[in-house]
Amino acid sequence: RCVAKQHAHCLNAFITPLARTGQWLDRVKEADRRREKGEPKSAVDGRLVAIKDNICTRDLPTTCASGILDKFTSPFNATVVEQLEKAGAVLGGKTNLDEFGMGSHSIHSRFGPVRNSRRDRDGQELSAGGSSGGSAVAVAAGQCYSALGTDTGGSVRLPAAYTGTVGFKPSYGLISRWGVVAYANSLDTVGILGSDTSSVRDIFSILNRHDPRDPTSLSQLSRSRIRCHLQSPQLSSRLKSSPLRIGVPLEYNLSELTPSVRLAWVLSLAHLQAQGHTIHPVSLPATKHALSAYYILAPAEASSNLAKYDGVRYGTRGEGPDGTGQADGYLYANTRGSGFGSEVQRRILLGTFSLSADAMDNYFIQAQRVRRLIQQDFNAAFARQHPLVAEDTDGHVSESANVDVIVCPTTTSSPPRLSELTNGTSKTSPLDAYVNDVFTVPASLAGLPAISVPVTVSSKSGQDSSADELTGIQVVGQYGDDELVMNVGELLA
């Protein structure tokens, strides 16, 4: 069901593909020579790494798939880009996305939708997931070794699940966001896509560093506190020798789960159990409000972040009395009305409303409360205390505080058809796309590390592999347990 690699250019995974200058080939050859001498700069020396087009690059444009940044090239590289180049990686082009990262299917792009390299059994084109759909497809089609995406509410994990790749969202604050165009600052993380966990690990080990230019980057002190905690004798022996305690959130067993996704979940748990790990039900009661809270908080932050694109200080200028052309136009309205796509405009309106004086208490403040409850739910479920949250003074440990990681589906179903999403059927409703994020937003709201790994459920007959269903299974861990999350992901992949 994979479209042949030679059709890779039809996938629309890239907004700015790798320049055909041959310079990059020289860099790959230099890296090969270093490797032969046994002196590679890093594990990714000479590897192509594609970059989502909302991450700033000095040598290539950064459009965020938006008309408002049509002509924008950043004067600097994002920290993550600098770190990768220093490690010898070669920038493999800028990948397509939902405008400013807002969406779940990579269809809201000024440059047209991303096409999944997989088709369904009737040969129909499928959603690549979003918003980092271009990065996921570039990896799935073998166009790069690995790719950077951003994950605010699931934008790395959902496309990973839809394309059969591995998508990792680290703990909030571990990877620098300096030079990453902000969508919702309190949720934004840079995520990594790869064809397996080891390529993701290679990239993570380069990017997992404090950056003084990003005020939300985790300080050296907090990083060493996490390291000490992980190296404490009780914990390290527990993780090395004893079986892991795997949590299964009861509230995630939704009626909307398709049979193949439910089966993939059950098989993954059985696989872990067969390796000696134990399965335990956990309760995350506030997560049923996670989606609503996310879709208040993320647009609120977005409306504030996008205010700067007014055509005066920033962004491609529209026509108006202060610009060129019609005298009856208004510069701001024209710039923003023509520069932003409809989904981004919807988010700006939603966010502006929920932050307005009359609505604030009912929406934004309530959503922040829900967010806190979600964080508390996770803390109550994990055996390990959140390393940056003060311990309960009375030493109280909840009854369910006993699991090392949580395992659940990444999404409720296999990817929908692209035609259903773009042809004006019921599936085009924005709400329908928002519901896709039901399993990914809780970890984002709590800032926790999470990975989506591909799991294939074989067809009943076992003979017709074209009827196999591919889905993503997600592993979520306590803050700072990024390595453990990747280890468990590896067990499942």
Footprint of ligand GLN on this chain (CB under 6 A)?
Answer: 101-104, 131, 150-155, 183, 298, 437
- Which of the following is catalytic: 52, 66, 217, 414? 52
Query: What minimum distance in Å lies between the beta carbon of 119 and ligand GLN?
Result: 23
Distance of CA 398 to the CA centre of its chain: 30
Q: Which residue has the tokens 């505080």?
A: 401
C-beta closer to ligand GLN: residue 45 or 151: 151
β partners of residue 279: 246
- Which of the following is catalytic: 109, 132, 155, 414? 155
C-beta closer to ligand GLN: residue 175 or 246: 175
Among candidates 5, 105, 190, which has minimal Cα distance to 437? Answer: 105
C-beta closer to ligand GLN: residue 178 or 183: 183
The answer to whether residues 375 and 441 touch, using CB atoms and an 8 Å cutoff, is no
Q: Which residue has the tokens 């949590």?
A: 247
Query: What minimum distance in Å lies between the beta carbon of 150 and ligand GLN?
Result: 6
Examine the residue annotation and report whether 155 is marked as an active-site residue of this protein. Answer: yes
Examine the residue annotation and report whether 169 is marked as an active-site residue of this protein. Answer: no
Give the length of the chain: 493
Query: What minimum distance in Å lies between the beta carbon of 104 and ligand GLN?
Result: 4
β partners of residue 470: 456
Q: What is the 3-state secondary structure (H, E, C) of 185-225?
A: CCCCEEEEEECCHHHHHHHHHHHECCCCCCCCCCCHHHHHH
224: left (phi over 0), alpha (psi -120 to 50) or beta: alpha
Among candidates 249, 195, 252, 161, which has minimal Cα distance to 469? Answer: 161
Query: What minimum distance in Å lies between the beta carbon of 183 and ligand GLN?
Result: 6
Examine the residue annotation and report whether 52 is marked as an active-site residue of this protein. Answer: yes
Q: Name the residue whose CB lies closest to ligand GLN.
A: 155
C-beta closer to ligand GLN: residue 151 or 377: 151
C-beta closer to ligand GLN: residue 160 or 226: 160
Query: What minimum distance in Å lies between the beta carbon of 185 and ligand GLN?
Result: 12
Query: What minimum distance in Å lies between the beta carbon of 193 and ligand GLN?
Result: 13
The answer to whether residues 387 and 479 touch, using CB atoms and an 8 Å cutoff, is yes
Q: Please state, in angstroms and rounded to a whole number, the distance separating the CA atoms of residues 375 and 395.
A: 18
Among candidates 132, 138, 111, which has minimal Cα distance to 183? Answer: 132
C-beta closer to ligand GLN: residue 42 or 305: 305
Q: At what angle do helices 220-231 and 233-240 cross, to 10 degrees?
A: 60
SS3 230: helix
Tell me how far CA of residue 146 lies from CA of 49, 138, 139, 177, 241, in angstroms: 5, 8, 6, 18, 32
- Which of the following is catalytic: 66, 74, 106, 131? 131
**Residues noted as catalytic:** 52, 131, 155
